[in-house]
Amino acid sequence: MPVDRNDPTQPIVLVTGPSGAGRATAINALEDLGFEAIDNLPLSLIPRLLAGPRLDHPLALGLDVRNRDFTPDAVSGVMDQLSANPDAEGHLLFVDADVDTLIRRYSETRRRHPLSADSKPRDGIEQELRLLEPLKSRADILIDTSELTPHDLRAELVKWFASDDSGAMTVTVESFSYKRGLPRGADLVWDCRFLNNPHWEETLRPKNGTDEDVASYVRADPRHGAFMAQLNDMADLLLPAFRDEGKSHLAISIGCTGGQHRSVAVAEEFGKSLANKGWQVSIRHREIERRRAGDS
């Protein structure tokens, strides 16, 4: 989502994520990129802020569990308002990290987790991850900082949000399970449930589509090659057209029954193909992320 200063819509980025994942670093980085950044603004005040005169620069709003009226439903309500507002371009940025990384960061800083009543942060971290899961699923930009330094995180945000008048467009390729419903905000959805299912192979069932033996099994389906060729042909046709229409971010969702094997393997292959063609691509896997967060 490189920010086009000539775009008449107001770019508004809601920034959230678990405590310790780097949300404050992200807010500061966006401020350095020219955003007006407001951290921990009460959610009840956001409609008033948006009702005011349009700003001549993008806006970043930091939201977390310390906000007195913070709930996932309330944040989703704000996103719904932004989606319905033709003068606003709303995005939800979720800055994430795995449990072990968050525990280590709290141990190093000796800070108390905002949801932990005692000095042990694990319970608070796990509670917060469960609370934030609906927002993580809805986010159109997800950055996992588990292996990133603050410098790396800033570099990622530059890729997504630096001002760019060249017409660049970012692309998210996301795998999902049809049993859990379509991802919100998807622009294009493709179904790969017709491919042979690794779930029925006992040795492959506990694995996912990022494992090479699962990906090889999916590629061995005689229909796979033609399917991928069609996906790439459609991308070659549609992505430049969306970019030329001024779209700054395109969300492509690829689904299968459980969102663990076929859609993951196809999303990985398709996303890497787009990246090799020069598109700025983020690949994510909704159901795998949910399982890692403890949501069965």
pLDDT digits (tens, 9 = 90+) for 81-92: 888 888 888 899
pLDDT band with cut points at 50, 70 and 90 for residue 107:
confident
Under 8 Å between Cβ of 32 and 190: no
Where does the pLDDT of residue 70 fall: very low under 50, low under 70, confident under 90, or very high at 90 and above? confident
What is the arrangement of strands in the sheet containing 188-191, beginning at the earlier edge strand?
188-191, 249-256, 170-177, 280-285
Average pLDDT value for the chain: 86
CA atoms within 13 A on the CB side of 17: 26
* Local structure of 36: helix, strand or coil: strand
Domain boundaries, the chain: 10-161, 170-292
* Spatial separation of the C-alpha atoms in residues 10 and 18, rounded to whole Å: 26
pLDDT over threshold 80, residue 190: yes
The residues facing 191 across adjacent strands are: 255
In angstroms, the CA 157 to CA 60 distance is: 12
Q: So what's the pLDDT on residue 168?
A: 67
Is the Cα dihedral 218, 207, 268, 234 positive or negative? positive
Mean pLDDT along residues 35-56: 81
pLDDT at residue 93 tops 90: yes
DSSP code at position 163: B
Helix (H, G, I), strand (E, B), or coil: what is residue 59? Answer: strand
The secondary structure of the chain in percent helix, strand, coil, rounded to multiples of 5, reads 45, 20, 40
Q: Is the pTM of this model over 0.75?
A: no
* pLDDT of residue 201 exceeding 90: yes
pLDDT of 271: 94
Each residue's pLDDT tens digit, 162-189: 765 445 678 889 999 999 888 877 899 9
The residue that leads in pLDDT, 159 or 258, is 258
256 vs 136: CA distance, rounded Å: 20
10-161: CATH architecture: 3-Layer(aba) Sandwich (3.40)
Q: In the prediction, which pLDDT does 125 show?
A: 87
pLDDT tens-digit map of 31-43: 878 888 988 888 8
pLDDT at residue 166, as a whole number: 46
**Is a pLDDT exceeding 90 seen at residue 194?**
yes
Condensed to tens digits (0 to 9), the pLDDT of residues 204-239 reads 999 999 999 999 999 999 999 999 999 999 999 999
Q: What is the pLDDT of residue 234?
A: 96
Write out pLDDT tens, residues 115-136.
Answer: 776 667 788 888 888 899 999 9
Residue 113: DSSP 8-state: P
